[in-house]
Amino acid sequence: MQTELAMGQGAGTLYDKIWDSHVVRSYADGTDLLYIDRHLVQEVSSPQAFAGLQARGLPLRRPDAHLAVADHAVPTLHRDRPLREGLAARQVARLQQNARHFGIPYIPMHDRRHGIVHVIGPELGFTLPGATLVCGDSHTCTHGAFGALAFGIGASECESVFATQTLRQRRQKRMRIRLTGSLPRGVTVKDVVLALIARIGIAGGAGHTIEYAGPAVEALSMEGRMTLCNMAIEAGSRVALIAPDERTLDWLRGRPLAPQGDRWAAAVADWRRLRSDPDAAFDREVDMDISDLAPQVSWGTTPEDCAPVTGHVPDPAAVSDPVRRRRMEQSLAYMGLVPGTPLRDIRIDRVFIGSCTNARLEDLRRAAQVVRGRRAAPHVRAIVVPGSAAVRLAAEAEGIDHVFREAGFEWRDSGCSMCVAMNDDRLAEGERCASTSNRNFEGRQGKGGRTHLMSPEMAAAAALAGRLTDVRDWA
């Protein structure tokens, strides 16, 4: 039966195959009604969606397709205590109430399954190849690492998924990014994706779904693939995909919500078709050899404002397009940087190792390797925020928390934390941070805060040096 299914799909891209198997109906104007298999629900984008559902007097169509967790607003300290009275406490409590009312599982912050939506979805096996998965959060593209068609939506669209389990969408164009070569020493997949965004721009993937392919993608761990897909939205693309392979299956097998027994076998048979056919047509192709990359850091206020750490703060005077020049001047003014300054001379105040981009076990292990036996610079305040409780517990079992604590870093509980600064973890005005998160927008880590994006290894090294530094000098 499964082979019949596989044969029925015809030639096409991975994206089209998943799309085609989720079309409820097509409309005359070329849009499709897409069935949504899975919905991750967090506290920030859901209260208005739940309220809308309630105002309509509607039930939630399929409670078994949703999973709720509060990750953005939760504190990363004192998790055994009730939340301090205030807006965050109210928002978290509201999610818990809504989940109870509508009958969907809610994972509270004290639970061993807690974490950032995009970390726990895969951990639990909630994320599956070939599934459509949404969340009221733009980094939902992360789940594409498993070959899930996953994308971020707004609150009104969340309400549509609650009420109908569907979304009316237009198919996007297809872009393939082929990565070749192998990672040089001290260079990570984070550097690859930052360099890629610097090359194609913050709108480089707009209107397209990105499929990452090529030997360098196949060689990546699942954690690395998640980091790669996570930042597709920073290139303007809502969807990123990587074809599932043996590594994907090995990672998912036995996860609590992954199919078991006969269902697993049937699923795997179906997932075998989840790759772009050799003759599949892409609207755009990008090739990138990663062999000569250097570690990257951002200097501006969009993720495309990145350069090799060996470089300098760029000079707006050298930019001919007036809109871009103005933008660069504004970025540098906000960042408090002078053109021509070597990036390695930039002194930092804070370090944040965390977020759905780079707070998985592999990230923490690699950052810990850099700090082992060393100390953070005395003026630097560094925090490590594991992406989930499971990551935290696994890291603690390996003694990684000790390595960080010994080096003067703070070891916290899971959540979004200083990636978005909705809890107490935030930069003060003018503070400068080496961060493993995904956005260096103005005010992202706190009003007036200045963010430099980089890999976990680079952030760890920056903490030791007290300034931006080349991790290759610390090996």
Q: Which residues are annotated as a binding site for [4Fe-4S] cluster?
A: 356, 416, 419
Q: Measured from the CB atom, is 163 or 280 closer to other proteins?
A: 163
Between CA 110 and CA 413 the distance in angstroms is 9
Asked whether position 252 contacts other proteins by CB under 8 A, the answer is: no
Residue among 104, 118, 90, 64 nearest 354 (CA): 118
Q: Measured from the CB atom, is 166 or 440 closer to ligand SF4?
A: 440
Strand 32-35 versus strand 166-169 pairing type: antiparallel
Scanning residues 184 to 213, which ones bind ligand SF4 (CB under 6 A)?
none
- Integer-rounded Cα Rg, in Å, for the chain is 22
Asked if 225 and 197 count as a contact pair (C-beta separation under 8 A), the reply is: no
- Closest approach, Cβ 38 to other proteins, in A, equals 8
Asked whether position 448 contacts other proteins by CB under 8 A, the answer is: yes
Between CA 74 and CA 92 the distance in angstroms is 7
Asked whether position 72 contacts ligand SF4 by CB under 6 A, the answer is: yes
Asked whether position 234 contacts ligand SF4 by CB under 6 A, the answer is: no
Beta-carbon contacts of 323 under 8 Å, excluding residues fewer than 6 positions away, are: none
Asked if 363 and 456 count as a contact pair (C-beta separation under 8 A), the reply is: yes
Residue 64 binding target from other proteins, ligand SF4, none, CB below 5 to 8 Å by type: other proteins
Scanning residues 147 to 206, which ones bind other proteins (CB under 8 A)?
152-157, 159-160, 163-166, 168, 170, 202-203, 206
- Residue of 13, 248, 355, 451 that binds ligand SF4 (CB under 6 A): 355
Residue 377 binding target from other proteins, ligand SF4, none, CB below 5 to 8 Å by type: none
Pattern 24-53, ligand SF4, x by CB under 6 A: ------------------------------
Piece in contact with ligand SF4 (CB under 6 A), picked from 100-108, 283-291, 311-319, 414-422? 414-422
- Pure H helices in 255-385: 261-271, 322-335, 361-371
Piece in contact with other proteins (CB under 8 A), picked from 187-195, 289-297, 417-425, 466-474? 417-425
- Closest approach, Cβ 420 to ligand SF4, in A, equals 4
Residue 69 binding target from other proteins, ligand SF4, none, CB below 5 to 8 Å by type: none
Between CA 97 and CA 87 the distance in angstroms is 15
Asked whether position 417 contacts other proteins by CB under 8 A, the answer is: no
Asked whether position 139 contacts ligand SF4 by CB under 6 A, the answer is: yes
Residue 6 binding target from other proteins, ligand SF4, none, CB below 5 to 8 Å by type: none
Asked if 97 and 103 count as a contact pair (C-beta separation under 8 A), the reply is: no
Beta-carbon contacts of 7 under 8 Å, excluding residues fewer than 6 positions away, are: none
Asked if 299 and 306 count as a contact pair (C-beta separation under 8 A), the reply is: yes
- Closest approach, Cβ 75 to ligand SF4, in A, equals 14
Neighbours of 246 (CB within 10 A): 8
Q: Measured from the CB atom, is 41 or 109 closer to other proteins?
A: 109
- Give me the amino acid identity at 296: Q
- Closest approach, Cβ 190 to ligand SF4, in A, equals 14
Residue 248 binding target from ligand SF4, other proteins, none, CB below 5 to 8 Å by type: none
- Give me the amino acid identity at 24: V
Asked if 356 and 139 count as a contact pair (C-beta separation under 8 A), the reply is: yes
Pattern 39-78, other proteins, x by CB under 8 A: -----xx-xx---x---x-x-----xx------xx-----
- Residues β-bridged to residue 285: 176
Asked if 389 and 40 count as a contact pair (C-beta separation under 8 A), the reply is: no
